[in-house]
Amino acid sequence: MAVKFYRGKKALYLDEYPEKYKDGIYFATDTKEIIMNNDLYGFGSFPIKNYIKDIQFNEDTGILK
């Protein structure tokens, strides 16, 4: 299954989820949020249950964590 990517204003996502954006990754350009299946990721203005707190790159394995 291929993941689809979308971008636009958050209100558009809220109006059309889940019919149009289910299982896709949506970049809310006005709030700077990343949304998938109505879960927010990143740093936005709403309570978010999955904050990105740190990003680490393992040079030995080539994996971002």
Report the pLDDT averaged over residues 22-45. Answer: 86
What is the enclosing helix (H) or strand (E) of 14?
helix 10-16
Q: What is the pLDDT of residue 52?
A: 66
Q: What is the pLDDT of residue 51?
A: 62
* pLDDT reading at 35 higher than 70: yes
Q: What is the dihedral of CA 55, 50, 47, 26, to 10 degrees?
A: 90
Average pLDDT, the chain: 84
Task: Report the number of distinct structural domains present in the chain.
Answer: 1
Q: What is the pLDDT of residue 64?
A: 78
Distance from C-alpha of 45 to C-alpha of 65, rounded to nearest angstrom: 24
Domain, as residue range, for 10: 5-64
Local confidence band at 55 (pLDDT 50, 70, 90 cut-offs): confident
